[in-house]
Structure 1
Amino acid sequence: MGRRKDDGIEMVSKLPWQAGIVLGLAGYAAMRYGLAWCMTMFGGPVGQALGTTLADGAYAPAAWLLLTACWLAALISYLDSRRRHYLLTSQSGLRSLSAMDWREFEMLVGEAFRRQGYQVREIGLGGADGGIDLILHKDGATTLVQCKQWRTKLVDVRVVREMYGLLMHHRADAVKIVAIGHYTDDAQRFVHGKPIELIAGDALLAMVRECQIVTQRRKAA
């Protein structure tokens, strides 16, 4: 099933919340004042007349709407960042990881990678996707991530083969599969010599705890 494209608010909400504030102010100034100035300076007689109309506030409602939309997106971004922070810092073991729903699990994994210096693009949060959930960028390399919050079922070689096919199709550099449980022997044999990392529950928990320690040190500093 194809994904619907993000609208403007969704796109801005995926940026840091500070960016939404700045974009709102810049967009308001550009629409409210900048457009009229450009038309007056470079639009000739017709542009000057139109610029005068714009300077009188013809685009003021649209400018306020743009500002409101950007600041709403900034609020969503801020609340999401607080939720991700809570998800990361509140984990105490594999049981708490298993208690989350799949959306929270993907958010947690994305935040853990983000704390490791990756730029994270969340793909799977729009639906229960069976393919790519996260796309990571770091040092010029692109890594595809799939999250499997299976509590009892082992991740088999079929899943790994599918991700390897996506790696080849998208010409990515590596693949990471993150699961709470473990992987079958066939899956572990398949990744030998390939740019595929299988992250099981214990390794994921260690990654989360490392992020928690860094956060605590920053608070104490």
Structure 2
Amino acid sequence: MARRKDSGIPMVSGLPWQAGIVLGVTSYVAVRYGLGWCMSTFGGPVGQALGSSVAEGAYAPIAWLLLSACWLAALVSFLDCRRRKHLMGMQNGPGMLRAMDWRQFETLVTDAFEHQGYSVRGTGLAGVDGGYDLILYRDGLMTLVQCRQWRTKLVDVKLVREMYGLLVHHHADAVKIIAIGNYTDDAQRFVRGKPIELISGNALLAMVRETRTSVLAKAG
């Protein structure tokens, strides 16, 4: 899924849900009461006239709208937080990874990389055409990530070559390919000496467990 520049509710929902609650109350008070006070105090005759209209409730609908929008965003953030914790808590083996849909799988991978200190962006380019799912940023370096939630087959060298071509084309610094299973011998030979990391199901589970341990420790 492509991610565009955040604004409004999407931006607030990216914050901790508690921040959305506080921001809503602050916005309501600022518009409902603070705006009129500022106009009356610093705006001269015109400002005093406008401040009186604010004091009479002219901007009350805007204040309620801001409060509702921020609290809606806080609810979205709260539900997303619970969903992510549920995903972290349900991972016991490769079978659980296979049972997920692709959105859950990508969310799980995103959380694991964010735990490692990466800034993660979606791209909307995933698919059988060799596109990549995520872009990682850390220490000024860009890494392309391909997620392959295949149930049975091994990842072959064709996909690895395609990702290497994307690395060169986009001037990326590295590539990570993630699969539930494993990789063919040809694929593993191809990546030798190249900035490509093949992450198998067991390595992914280790990343997930480390992230889960951290999340549970913070929650406790």
Give the TM-score normalised by structure 2: 0.79
Separation in 2, partners of 1:59, 1:170? 49
8 Å contact from structure 2 (residues 125, 132) kept in 1: no
SS of equivalent to 2:144: strand
Q: CA deviation at 1:2?
A: 6.9
SS of equivalent to 2:208: helix
Matched, 1:59 2:98: no
Q: CA deviation at 1:206?
A: 1.9
SS of equivalent to 1:57: coil
Q: CA deviation at 1:199?
A: 0.7
Query: What is the total number of aligned residue pairs between the two structures?
Result: 217
For residues 215 and 59 of structure 1, do their structure 2 counterparts lie closer, same or farther at Cα, with a shift above 3 Å needed? closer
Paired residue type of 1:62:
I
Q: 1:129 aligns with which of 120, 126, 129?
A: 126
Query: Aligned residues: percent identity?
Result: 70
The answer for unaligned runs of 5 or more in structure 1 is none
In the other structure, the counterpart of 1:208 is: 208
Please list the CA deviations of residues 46-83 of structure 1 after superposition, one character each: whole Å capped at 9, or x if unmatched: 33322321232211111111111111111111111111
8 Å contact from structure 2 (residues 27, 67) kept in 1: yes
Separation in 2, partners of 1:220, 1:105? 22
In the other structure, the counterpart of 2:199 is: 199
The answer for unaligned runs of 5 or more in structure 2 is none
Please list the CA deviations of residues 103-143 of structure 1 after superposition, one character each: whole Å capped at 9, or x if unmatched: 1101111222233343444x26xx68333433434445443
Larger deviation, residues 44-53 vs 201-210: 44-53
Please list the CA deviations of residues 23-58 of structure 1 after superposition, one character each: whole Å capped at 9, or x if unmatched: 223322332233334433444433332232123221
For residues 49 and 215 of structure 1, do their structure 2 counterparts lie closer, same or farther at Cα, with a shift above 3 Å needed? closer
Q: CA deviation at 1:185?
A: 3.9
In the other structure, the counterpart of 2:113 is: 113
